[in-house]
Amino acid sequence: MKKGILVFMATTMVIFCCLTEVAFSADYKPEYKLSTVVGKPFAWGIAGERWAELVKEKTAGRILIKTYPGTSLVGGDQTKEFTAIRQGAIDMAIGSTINWSPQVKELNLFSMPFLMPDYKAIDALTQGDVGKDLFKILSEKDVVPLAWGENGFRELTNSKRAIRTPADLKGLKIRVVGSPLFLDTFTALGANPTQMSWADAVPALSSGAVDGQENPLTIFTIAKLDTAANQKNLTLWGYVADPLIFVVSKSVWGTWTPEDQKAVREAAEQAGRENIDAARKGLIPPDDSMIKEVGAKGVNVVKLTDVEKEAFRKATRSVYDKWAKQIGADLVKKAEEAIAKRK
């Protein structure tokens, strides 16, 4: 009799375990969609592949990820990426602060002209309290932010002439990304900015419909903008930099076990660190091999002195002040203080 009860209890437990296992694995999708703007061999695309690979490894294949470069889940319209995550069309993403800033106004912080003078300044923000504040803001908008990556300092290129002063930019048609802040900055500099997605930018530059653009040198070299898009003049001015953010949609996150959540977070942190190293390779003195490589292609490289930069800073000061209000005076002040204290 006693034995009968034990057998009954054991059987019930096995059935219960099987049922919960089924219930929990039923919530797991066979595959998760990861969005990025560019794919391999761009550092950003490599970061997507790496995150997917590490997640597969760390979850023993319970979470499988397919990458969708070219922001293809939103037809290439990168400023719609964040909304698509919130709506469930994208499960996870590595997004640029620029592309998500139309929906998360505080992310415009990184696009404030001449806020961050160097890489240590980026780190002072992303790795400090400002980064935490931004992650808190994001987590109130249906995503779980996990780690920072980096696209990089955005340098100015064009097909027409060397740019050393704001006057040199006068009348040049410059492709900018989708935050209105960029329209203000380039208008203040006397240029003629036009907003378009990355997918449209390269053909527009190649055909000469647009004269110039701004992007990190890692994007410039891999997209071969010098030959593919007539971009023979480069000005190193480091006016803004866009970090990348690794996120998972909150509704997807909630379906994963704590163990798998931890694995996905750790994978993002590792892929993020590797991505930041890759984004900075050859750009930090004494190793400026990336800049030399661009020069060796016959691109005319102008590196602004601090005095020359000051003229651009002055010309865009009103844009800085206007956007400080829109982003939030407290956050901007916190950022300025963190940068002033950087080591």
Q: Which residues bind ligand X2X (CB under 6 A)?
A: 37-38, 78, 96, 98-99, 151, 177, 198, 215, 219, 242
* Residue 7 near residue 24, CB atoms below 8 Å: no
The DSSP annotation for 33-94 comes to EEE-SS-TTSHHHHHHHHHHHHHHHHTTTSS-EEEE-TTGGGTT-GGGHHHHHHHTS-SEEE
Distances (CA, A) of 244 to 98, 147, 151, 273, 341: 9, 8, 6, 11, 23
* Distance of closest approach, residue 124 Cβ to ligand X2X, in angstroms: 21
Give the residue with the Cβ less far from ligand X2X, 96 or 275: 96
Give the residue with the Cβ less far from ligand X2X, 198 or 256: 198
Tell me how long the chain is.
Answer: 343
DSSP state of 254: T
* Distance of closest approach, residue 264 Cβ to ligand X2X, in angstroms: 23
Burial of 34 (0-12, 13-18, 19+ CB in 10 A): buried
* Distance of closest approach, residue 200 Cβ to ligand X2X, in angstroms: 10
* Distance of closest approach, residue 31 Cβ to ligand X2X, in angstroms: 24
* Distance of closest approach, residue 37 Cβ to ligand X2X, in angstroms: 4
3-state secondary structure of 8: helix
> In angstroms, rounded to a whole number, what is the distance separating the alpha carbons of residues 34 and 120?
29
DSSP state of 189: T
Give the residue with the Cβ less far from ligand X2X, 119 or 220: 220
Give the residue with the Cβ less far from ligand X2X, 38 or 276: 38
* Distance of closest approach, residue 282 Cβ to ligand X2X, in angstroms: 18
Give the residue with the Cβ less far from ligand X2X, 38 or 263: 38
Residue with nearest beta carbon to ligand X2X: 198
* Distance of closest approach, residue 183 Cβ to ligand X2X, in angstroms: 14
Give the residue with the Cβ less far from ligand X2X, 39 or 128: 39
Give the residue with the Cβ less far from ligand X2X, 192 or 251: 192
* Distance of closest approach, residue 215 Cβ to ligand X2X, in angstroms: 5
Q: Give strand ranges (E) for the chain.
A: 32-35, 65-68, 92-96, 143-153, 155-158, 173-176, 192-195, 212-215, 233-236, 241-249, 300-303
Give the residue with the Cβ less far from ligand X2X, 63 or 93: 93
Burial of 294 (0-12, 13-18, 19+ CB in 10 A): buried
* Residue 261 near residue 63, CB atoms below 8 Å: no
